[in-house]
Amino acid sequence: MRARHYCADCLTAREHGPSDSGDFACDKCGKAYSARCDTAMDAEGVAQCAFCGGHAFFLQKDFDQRLGCLVMAVSLAIALFVGWRAGWIWFTPVLLASVVVDWIVAARIKPVTICYRCDAEYRDVPVHPRHQGYDPHVAERYAETKTVRRMR
Ligand SMILES: [Zn+2]
Ligand SMILES: [Zn+2]
Protein backbone atom coordinates (compact mmCIF):
# COMPACT_ATOMS: atom_id res chain seq x y z
CA MET A 1 0.00 0.00 0.00
CA ARG A 2 1.17 3.48 -0.87
CA ALA A 3 -0.67 6.40 0.70
CA ARG A 4 -0.17 9.93 -0.57
CA HIS A 5 -0.92 12.70 1.88
CA TYR A 6 -1.62 16.26 0.76
CA CYS A 7 -0.75 19.03 3.18
CA ALA A 8 -3.91 20.96 4.10
CA ASP A 9 -2.05 24.27 3.97
CA CYS A 10 0.38 24.13 1.08
CA LEU A 11 -0.83 20.99 -0.80
CA THR A 12 2.60 19.40 -0.80
CA ALA A 13 2.30 15.68 -1.50
CA ARG A 14 4.15 13.07 0.50
CA GLU A 15 4.17 9.29 0.08
CA HIS A 16 3.71 6.95 3.01
CA GLY A 17 4.18 3.20 3.29
CA PRO A 18 1.96 0.65 5.04
CA SER A 19 3.91 0.79 8.30
CA ASP A 20 4.01 4.59 8.62
CA SER A 21 2.26 5.54 11.83
CA GLY A 22 2.79 8.46 14.15
CA ASP A 23 3.30 12.19 13.85
CA PHE A 24 4.77 13.76 10.75
CA ALA A 25 5.42 17.29 9.56
CA CYS A 26 5.00 18.74 6.09
CA ASP A 27 8.33 18.88 4.24
CA LYS A 28 7.63 22.34 2.93
CA CYS A 29 5.70 24.34 5.53
CA GLY A 30 6.19 22.18 8.61
CA LYS A 31 2.47 21.73 9.35
CA ALA A 32 2.04 18.76 11.65
CA TYR A 33 -0.22 15.83 10.81
CA SER A 34 -0.57 12.28 11.96
CA ALA A 35 -0.65 9.09 9.91
CA ARG A 36 -2.21 5.75 10.87
CA CYS A 37 -1.36 3.68 7.84
CA ASP A 38 -1.19 0.46 9.87
CA THR A 39 -4.93 0.58 10.71
CA ALA A 40 -6.22 2.04 7.41
CA MET A 41 -6.84 -1.34 5.77
CA ASP A 42 -9.42 -3.98 6.53
CA ALA A 43 -9.61 -7.38 4.85
CA GLU A 44 -11.20 -5.90 1.70
CA GLY A 45 -9.34 -2.66 1.16
CA VAL A 46 -8.98 0.85 2.55
CA ALA A 47 -11.61 1.29 5.27
CA GLN A 48 -10.43 4.24 7.33
CA CYS A 49 -8.38 7.15 6.07
CA ALA A 50 -4.91 7.09 7.61
CA PHE A 51 -4.79 10.89 7.83
CA CYS A 52 -8.29 12.17 8.67
CA GLY A 53 -10.06 9.02 9.88
CA GLY A 54 -12.75 9.40 7.20
CA HIS A 55 -14.71 6.39 5.99
CA ALA A 56 -15.84 7.63 2.57
CA PHE A 57 -13.70 6.97 -0.48
CA PHE A 58 -14.13 7.09 -4.21
CA LEU A 59 -12.30 5.43 -7.07
CA GLN A 60 -10.62 7.17 -9.95
CA LYS A 61 -8.67 5.80 -12.88
CA ASP A 62 -5.02 6.49 -12.26
CA PHE A 63 -4.62 7.83 -15.76
CA ASP A 64 -3.28 11.17 -16.82
CA GLN A 65 -5.51 12.93 -19.36
CA ARG A 66 -2.47 14.48 -21.03
CA LEU A 67 -0.99 11.00 -21.44
CA GLY A 68 -4.27 9.90 -23.08
CA CYS A 69 -4.01 12.72 -25.61
CA LEU A 70 -0.39 11.84 -26.31
CA VAL A 71 -1.30 8.17 -26.88
CA MET A 72 -4.03 9.20 -29.32
CA ALA A 73 -1.61 11.46 -31.18
CA VAL A 74 0.94 8.63 -31.43
CA SER A 75 -1.78 6.25 -32.71
CA LEU A 76 -2.72 8.74 -35.40
CA ALA A 77 0.93 9.27 -36.34
CA ILE A 78 1.47 5.51 -36.69
CA ALA A 79 -1.65 5.17 -38.86
CA LEU A 80 -0.53 8.08 -41.06
CA PHE A 81 2.94 6.58 -41.40
CA VAL A 82 1.61 3.12 -42.29
CA GLY A 83 -0.89 4.68 -44.71
CA TRP A 84 1.88 6.64 -46.40
CA ARG A 85 4.26 3.67 -46.68
CA ALA A 86 1.89 0.74 -47.28
CA GLY A 87 -1.07 2.42 -48.93
CA TRP A 88 -4.02 4.39 -47.56
CA ILE A 89 -6.21 1.29 -47.43
CA TRP A 90 -4.28 0.46 -44.21
CA PHE A 91 -4.93 3.79 -42.54
CA THR A 92 -8.32 2.97 -40.96
CA PRO A 93 -7.51 -0.62 -39.81
CA VAL A 94 -4.22 0.50 -38.22
CA LEU A 95 -5.92 3.43 -36.48
CA LEU A 96 -8.69 1.16 -35.16
CA ALA A 97 -6.16 -1.44 -34.00
CA SER A 98 -4.16 1.16 -32.06
CA VAL A 99 -7.34 2.52 -30.48
CA VAL A 100 -8.22 -1.02 -29.33
CA VAL A 101 -4.71 -1.34 -27.84
CA ASP A 102 -5.29 1.96 -25.99
CA TRP A 103 -8.55 0.59 -24.57
CA ILE A 104 -6.85 -2.57 -23.35
CA VAL A 105 -4.10 -0.54 -21.69
CA ALA A 106 -6.64 1.83 -20.11
CA ALA A 107 -8.73 -1.09 -18.81
CA ARG A 108 -5.69 -2.59 -17.11
CA ILE A 109 -4.86 0.56 -15.17
CA LYS A 110 -5.82 0.08 -11.55
CA PRO A 111 -8.03 2.73 -10.01
CA VAL A 112 -6.70 4.87 -7.20
CA THR A 113 -8.74 5.09 -3.98
CA ILE A 114 -9.23 8.69 -2.82
CA CYS A 115 -10.52 10.03 0.50
CA TYR A 116 -13.49 12.41 0.09
CA ARG A 117 -12.53 14.45 3.10
CA CYS A 118 -8.80 15.06 2.78
CA ASP A 119 -7.98 13.97 -0.79
CA ALA A 120 -5.44 11.40 0.39
CA GLU A 121 -4.70 8.88 -2.38
CA TYR A 122 -4.17 5.15 -1.86
CA ARG A 123 -2.41 3.02 -4.43
CA ASP A 124 -1.42 -0.65 -4.57
CA VAL A 125 -4.51 -1.57 -2.53
CA PRO A 126 -7.34 -3.96 -3.41
CA VAL A 127 -10.49 -2.23 -4.66
CA HIS A 128 -12.94 -2.23 -1.79
CA PRO A 129 -16.33 -3.62 -2.93
CA ARG A 130 -18.12 -0.71 -1.21
CA HIS A 131 -16.18 2.00 -3.04
CA GLN A 132 -17.52 3.56 -6.23
CA GLY A 133 -16.73 6.42 -8.58
CA TYR A 134 -16.84 10.04 -7.50
CA ASP A 135 -20.30 11.01 -6.22
CA PRO A 136 -20.96 14.77 -5.85
CA HIS A 137 -23.74 14.08 -3.32
CA VAL A 138 -21.32 12.31 -1.01
CA ALA A 139 -18.69 15.00 -1.63
CA GLU A 140 -21.22 17.66 -0.57
CA ARG A 141 -21.37 16.19 2.89
CA TYR A 142 -17.66 16.81 3.23
CA ALA A 143 -17.79 20.27 1.66
CA GLU A 144 -17.17 22.12 4.92
CA THR A 145 -14.02 20.24 5.74
CA LYS A 146 -12.84 20.01 2.16
CA THR A 147 -9.33 21.08 1.34
CA VAL A 148 -8.81 23.78 -1.26
CA ARG A 149 -7.26 21.41 -3.78
CA ARG A 150 -10.37 20.85 -5.89
CA MET A 151 -11.69 24.38 -5.48
CA ARG A 152 -8.78 25.97 -7.23
ZN1 LIG B 1 2.61 22.06 4.01
ZN1 LIG C 1 -8.80 11.38 4.63
Q: What is the pLDDT of residue 152?
A: 45
Ligand 2 mean position, distance from CA 131 (Å) = 14
Q: What is the pLDDT of residue 101?
A: 86
Mean pLDDT of 111-139: 93
Give, in order, the Cα–Cα distances in Å from 2 to each of 50, 99, 101, 110.
Answer: 11, 31, 28, 13
What are the sequence ranges of the domains in the chain?
Answer: 2-57+113-151, 65-107
Question: For the whole model, what pTM was predicted?
Answer: 0.74
Model confidence at 84: pLDDT above 80: yes
For residue 34, which ligand has an atom nearest its CA?
2
Ligand 1 mean position, distance from CA 152 (Å) = 16
Tell me if 23 sits within 8 A of 133, measured CB to CB: no
Q: How far apart (Å, rounded) are the C-alpha atoms in residues 14 and 8? A: 12
Ligand 1 mean position, distance from CA 33 (Å) = 10
Q: What is the pLDDT of residue 90?
A: 95
Q: Express each pLDDT in 9-43 by its tens digit.
A: 999 999 999 999 999 999 999 999 999 999 999 99
Nearest to 4 by CA among 43, 44, 62, 66: 62
Q: How far apart (Å, rounded) are the C-alpha atoms in residues 60 and 5? A: 16
